[in-house]
Structure 1
Amino acid sequence: MSKSLKVLTLEHFIIDTFTRLGSDGIERPVEQPDQVYIMHLKFNSIANIDKDRGRRHLRFVIQTADTYIFFTIIGARTFLPPSQLGMIVDYTLSTFPRALKDALESYGNEMWAFRERTDGLPTARAVNRYQGETRGFEYLSEPVLLTPNSLNGTHFEGIVPSVIHFISYPAPRAGIILDEINSFKTSKGWSPLIVWEPEDESLEVVTSIASHVDILGPNQNEALRLYSLLADPTFTDDDLTAILTKVCRSLAYLRPRIGAVIRAGHLGCCYASADPRGYRPEVKWVPAYWNKERNGYAEKVIDPTGAGNAFMGGVAAALSEGKGLGEAVRWGSVAASFAIEQTGLPQLTKTVDGRELWNGQNPWERLTAMSI
């Protein structure tokens, strides 16, 4: 197997639509373009709604919701060329607009494996139904559940990814993916690093799987729910930092092979590596790139939707380049910084000498600034 790939994500491509259930019980469509995201389901209440801004802010959240899982591969793309990235897009011609394919290919057509579905089903679609501040989710058409064997028959077949990223929903899928990877280890000598975002999992499941992955990477809400904790609205940043530090240490005790990372929004992230001797893991914090201490913060932070998943893509890219966990979370912070600067995806352009710019900025310069 001579070909190689740095980062592969096994998430599902879904075209998402939105409706709102009114007080009269009638479901009405939300007037907005379809949103595209990779499957990452949340059935709980929308978090962090600004009560003072009320209905207007809630509509903003709806208008931009669920584009964010698509940011994982884009976060990796911030640092790596498209030839070193991979993602499968399952579609049918009649339900997959050409303009949408063009938008994806603007980041590099090598990174996508477009597969026309032959099971008689259309491009996967889903609907988010909002009632007040809660959201329900329902498939309108079935997605293709991806595993490492899904690479067969695509131009990624025979390629050895250095890093595999996946989100565990639905829960049995995590075990299936790990079983297939173990099979490849035996038959082909392939041993990728595994970056896992445990979505709405039980602590029992996470405990059983953690030692078989390299990065255990929940966001703060997912991490707290694992231990039946809630972020009280009265908590200060210091309160939340203290709680997340304890949770991160507990996750590191589960022995992920590299470590545990918790994405904590405006607080940045905390991370810890498991100590092979069983000593108490040291938890470290890294601030978000865009924080109140950095000039331009107020103007640059437009929409945090997608930042956490772009962060994980940046972490995966760094690990594929042999970086340690402390450096990898800085790559993640830079990738996230571009995700929050607009509604939707960041803009990729090139200078006359071929250098890539994201929203007009060089990500490597931001990485240098993160290290100062």
Structure 2
Amino acid sequence: MEPHPLFTTLGMLVLDAIHLPNQPPRTDIIGGSGAWCILGARLFLAPPLSHQLGWLIRTGSDFPSSVRALLQSWDIQLHETAVTGQRSTRGELVYADTTFGPKKFRYTTSPLNIQPIHFLSSVPLLATPFLHLLSSPNDTKSQIQDLLNLRRSSGIGEQPTIIWEPAPPSCVPENLASFLEAMKMIDIFSPNHIELAALFSINLRSEDEFDHSTIEHLASKCLESGIGPRGQGTVIIRAGQEGCYVYSRQRGEFIWLPPYYVHNNSSQVIDPTGAGNAFLGGFAVGLMETGDDVLASCYGAVAASLALEQIGLPALGVGEDRVREERWNGVGVRERLGEYLSRLRISVSGRS
């Protein structure tokens, strides 16, 4: 049996059908918060370090062998549970135009959700020290309690570091009190800026000028209420083309980081789907490697940049040099991270 992975997610794998105007649909496109989050982490961990990542997927009878083969090529601890008599989780993503802007999503099959109890079929995942989840506040509270109970009954006493990405439909003012309760059970709270504003009854529109002070003020309210069991958690606000805000406990202040692609009209920016999930997967690896929230967010920004460059997942290949370094979309990910840190004048020690 392999040792337990250092990072996993409760996020799902979704097979998307993508519809663009006047184009035939693209089918069996790998998506879902789990796929993008694991991808964001995998970008930084070539084999054998890739075995530090574990992921449980629940599949139906129609699961494509080509998708399975692609996921297996990542060389992670992939645990597949086939659900008898059900179809795989599928969704439909319909774009209003060819700019990959406004879109609508719906599930076309019943989602095969991942719950902590499912980890009992893949015990190494239960002991992971870093966990990502995307859920409503009530689901977050119940999932964490179930996870901790299962860990205790299995002799695992350590508290995992939990990265919480709130489910977008749950980010409404009437859920604010429940959000504040759930924040006390996690370590990293990371909504996007529109979701954060919606919690506090502020409707941000894409055409509005971005207000840095408002986002920082609302993030501060979350911190003041308390994040984490000991109030030592942090908040990261992902803001798309505006970058992200991260509260640095080491520095005692908010730090704004620009996105890797500073201008949204860059020819490299194709489709933003999955970029936020990939950010948090990259962030998790950065946090494991550096212990610094700001540096970890730089990993996240680089992971998000590779999610933006195509429809679906970036392509994995190898370079032509002697060490045959992995290349994603032809890019050395650690090289891109170094370039981004240099641009921001941030050293590996986290000091600018």
TM-score (norm 1): 0.77
The yes-or-no answer on 1:254 pairing with 2:225 is yes
- The answer on whether the counterparts of 2:183 and 2:227 sit within 8 Å (CA) in structure 1 is yes
Structure 2 equivalent of residue 231 of structure 1? 204
Paired with 1:306 and 1:210, the residues of 2 have a C-alpha distance of 23
The yes-or-no answer on 1:365 pairing with 2:335 is yes
CA shift in 2, pair 1:336/1:128, >3 Å: closer
- The answer on whether the counterparts of 2:16 and 2:27 sit within 8 Å (CA) in structure 1 is no
Question: 1:159 deviation in Å?
Answer: 5.6
Structure 1 equivalent of residue 302 of structure 2? 334
Structure 2 equivalent of residue 75 of structure 1? 40
- The SS at the match of 1:104 is helix
Paired with 1:315 and 1:188, the residues of 2 have a C-alpha distance of 24
Aligned counterpart for 1:353 among listed residues 316, 323, 335 = 323
Question: 1:35 deviation in Å?
Answer: 3.2
- The answer on whether the counterparts of 2:117 and 2:147 sit within 8 Å (CA) in structure 1 is no
Question: 1:319 deviation in Å?
Answer: 2.0
The yes-or-no answer on 1:197 pairing with 2:165 is yes
- The answer on whether the counterparts of 1:210 and 1:255 sit within 8 Å (CA) in structure 2 is yes
The yes-or-no answer on 1:33 pairing with 2:27 is yes
AA paired with 2:339?
A
CA root-mean-square deviation: 3.1
Aligned counterpart for 2:56 among listed residues 88, 99, 107 = 88
Paired with 1:129 and 1:311, the residues of 2 have a C-alpha distance of 23
Q: Equivalent pairs: percent with the same residue? A: 28
- The answer on whether the counterparts of 2:248 and 2:255 sit within 8 Å (CA) in structure 1 is no
- TM alignment of 1:108-257, pairs within 5 A: 108=75, 110-118=76-84, 120-127=85-92, 135=104, 137=106, 139-154=107-122, 156-157=123-124, 160-169=127-136, 171-184=137-150, 186=152, 187-199=155-167, 200-201=169-170, 202-232=175-205, 235-237=208-210, 240-257=211-228
AA paired with 1:246?
H
Deviations for 1:57-92, whole angstroms, at most 9, x for unmatched residues? Answer: xxxxxxxxxxxx631110011112331112112123
Paired with 1:334 and 1:266, the residues of 2 have a C-alpha distance of 13
Paired with 2:161 and 2:257, the residues of 1 have a C-alpha distance of 22
Deviates more, 1:179-188 or 1:263-272: 179-188
Structure 1 equivalent of residue 291 of structure 2? 323
- The answer on whether the counterparts of 1:163 and 1:319 sit within 8 Å (CA) in structure 2 is no
Question: Number of matched residues?
Answer: 322
AA paired with 1:176?
S
AA paired with 2:78?
W
AA paired with 2:104?
R
- The answer on whether the counterparts of 1:89 and 1:112 sit within 8 Å (CA) in structure 2 is yes
CA shift in 2, pair 1:327/1:130, >3 Å: closer
- The answer on whether the counterparts of 1:266 and 1:291 sit within 8 Å (CA) in structure 2 is yes
Deviations for 1:328-347, whole angstroms, at most 9, x for unmatched residues? Answer: 10110111111112222112
- The answer on whether the counterparts of 1:162 and 1:320 sit within 8 Å (CA) in structure 2 is no
TM-score (norm 2): 0.81
CA shift in 2, pair 1:272/1:344, >3 Å: same
Structure 2 equivalent of residue 5 of structure 1? 5
Structure 1 alignment gaps of length 5 or more: 23-28, 40-68, 276-280
CA shift in 2, pair 1:235/1:158, >3 Å: closer
Paired with 1:236 and 1:78, the residues of 2 have a C-alpha distance of 33
Question: 1:9 deviation in Å?
Answer: 0.7
Paired with 1:74 and 1:19, the residues of 2 have a C-alpha distance of 23
Structure 1 equivalent of residue 349 of structure 2? none
CA shift in 2, pair 1:76/1:130, >3 Å: closer
- The answer on whether the counterparts of 1:195 and 1:216 sit within 8 Å (CA) in structure 2 is yes
Question: 1:196 deviation in Å?
Answer: 0.3
Greater RCO, CA 8 A, separation 6+: 1
